[in-house]
Amino acid sequence: MKILLVYPKNPDTFWSFKYALKFIFKKASNPPLGLLTVAAMLPEEWEKKFVDMNVNILSDKDLKWADFVFVSAMIVQKESITEIITRCKKIGVKIVAGGPLFTTGYEDFKGVDHFVLNEAEVTLPLFLEDLKNGCANHVYTSNQWADIKKTPLPLWKLVNMKQYVTMNIQYSRGCPFNCEFCDITLLYGRIPRTKDKDQVIKELENLYLQGWRNAVFFVDDNFIGNKRKLKEDILPAIIEWMKEKKHPFSFITQASIELSDDEELMQLMVRAGFDTVFIGIETPNEKSLAECSKVQNKNRDLIDCVKKVQGFGLQVQGGFIVGFDNDPLSIFETQIKFIQKSGIVTAMVGLLHALPSTKLYCRLDKEKRLLKGASGNNTDFSINFIPKMNYEVLIEGYRKILNTVYSPKHYYERVKTFIKGYKPLQKKIHRFRFRYLGAFFKSILFLGIIGKERYHYWKLFFWTIFKYPRLFPQAITFAVYGFHFRKIFEKYLQG
């Protein structure tokens, strides 16, 4: 059997880092962990090829070679997946589809031969058994949660790691919270399921043996869902392994805001090699937090929480949303002030979207306020429901936020705010690698000489060198990020 695993193209968004990647000659941020894990679940004797459309072109020759094309996708990749299905049907190759996009809306896709939904550890063996017996069904689904302690190592040999910035690892699935707009508990449940320390170390060792020596993204939707296990078991094991291997990786992950309440946990994470954490801030407005059931963010000084996390050596990347029913007209200015004061450099601000089957989607459906299917991209100025706020006012306010926080003046001010409060461990300082020297010189050319931000670039350049020289590489990295954010925003404005 010949299997072609295809990962669809991501649209240009703030998260794509498209323009930043060009500085370091990379094609994509990270490979698709789910699809590579599925590859490891297929019979070993089957031939397998992998095409990430964010890295390589999907050719008709690839499609004609395959007996089956396996695809996995997120909602934001809907346009690309539609193109893939059309091409497969034209050539006559069968399609097996799974992942979040199909699990919450497979009925929208005609032409797919087999849907393997929910968690592949549960449903894929059922499909493979039926396929072997010549009686494969159209849809495989299950309400059973997988035991991820049995999940195999991803098939990294299919990937050209040099094309990516980070590699991926998953320690847990599920989140103890149940925010109205989020589909994570729908897909993975509210009780975090975790791997054991031996599994985690085995996965790190596997990446190490592949020759990887860069950032590793723990893709857990809430890494700290089980704090006790992290502190007593997982993090101490990672610390020991990293010390033994002379710290080959740095780690990135996602967590909820109560991370700031646990100093021991933050210290252990930093000692283990974590230097960046994405946190869903969403909004400083208490009524909007109550509306969306973001209980973990309520009744706390969110700016102090962010600064505390960054003071422990973890850069906070923040998610922000406007468009809640309880958002006042002042929310746009409030968001701007919060972002600037917090020093969150990578501030991902989006419009509220109702993702399929979420509590928000169901509520808006009952209220007859849904307009169309979600694009999955909450930064493209689209909205799929009727907001309580006047639509034109909401869009114009959102435009004002982006135009402000991504403008060179405000963006570089935020970088300085972050650097002043950031206290990384000495041995964990972000350093230039030799292969990134080219990116440094490109930043001088494109940002310092011909860029709109050249005045702010040089101001940050010399300010950091003289006051915070250890953080100079981090400052230049942020400058490159800022260029990407501005280019994406300008692209949306022109569109």
pLDDT in tens, 146-162: 999 999 999 999 999 99
Evaluate whether 5 touches 158 at the Cβ level (below 8 Å).
yes
Q: Which of 156, 125, 187, 206 is nearest to 30 (CA)?
A: 156
Task: Output b/e per residue, 190-209; b: 16+ Cβ within 10 A.
Answer: eebbbbebebbbebbeebee
Q: How many residues does the chain have?
A: 495
Please report the sign of the dihedral spanned by the C-alpha atoms of residue 268, residue 270, residue 273, residue 275. positive
pLDDT confidence tier of residue 376, bands split at 50, 70 and 90: low
- The rounded distance, in Å, linking the Cα atoms of 231 and 226 is 9
Is pLDDT at 66 greater than 70 in this prediction?
A: yes
At 245 the three-state DSSP class reads coil
- The rounded distance, in Å, linking the Cα atoms of 85 and 406 is 37
**For range 38-64, the mean pLDDT:** 98
pLDDT in tens, 385-422: 999 999 999 999 999 999 999 999 999 999 999 999 99
- The rounded distance, in Å, linking the Cα atoms of 141 and 146 is 12
Q: Bridge partners of 345?
A: none
User: CATH top-level class for 148-421?
Assistant: alpha beta
Is pLDDT at 435 greater than 70 in this prediction?
A: no
pLDDT at 62: 97
Strands (DSSP E) along 343-436, which ranges?
A: 347-351
Task: Name every residue whose Cβ is closer than 8 Å to that of residue 207 and which is 6 or more positions away in sequence.
Answer: 156, 167, 169, 216, 249
pLDDT in tens, 237-250: 999 999 999 999 99
Give the DSSP letter string of 222-244. Answer: TTTTTHHHIIIIIHHHHHHHHHH
Q: Which of 40, 47, 49, 44 is nearest to 7 (CA)?
A: 49
Give the DSSP letter string of 119-134. Answer: -HHHHHHHHHHHHHTT
Is pLDDT at 430 greater than 50 in this prediction?
A: no
CB neighbours of residue 467 within 10 Å: 12
In this structure, the strands spanning 193-194 and 172-173 are antiparallel
Q: How far is CA 100 from the centre of its chain?
A: 14
In this structure, the strands spanning 139-140 and 114-116 are parallel
- The rounded distance, in Å, linking the Cα atoms of 201 and 60 is 39
Q: Which of 323, 336, 328, 491 is nearest to 391 (CA)?
A: 323
Q: Which CATH number fits domain 2-140: 1.20.140.10, 3.40.50.2300, 3.40.50.280, 3.30.479.30?
A: 3.40.50.280
CB neighbours of residue 435 within 10 Å: 11
Please report the sign of the dihedral spanned by the C-alpha atoms of residue 115, residue 117, residue 120, residue 122. negative
- The gap between the terminal CA atoms of the chain, to the nearest Å, is 44
Could you give the residue range(s) of every CATH 3.80.30.20 domain in the chain? Answer: 148-421
AA letter at 165: V
Is pLDDT at 262 greater than 70 in this prediction?
A: yes
Q: Bridge partners of 52?
A: 7
Is pLDDT at 40 greater than 80 in this prediction?
A: yes
Task: Name every residue whose Cβ is closer than 8 Å to that of residue 109 and which is 6 or more positions away in sequence.
Answer: 81, 82, 85, 97, 102
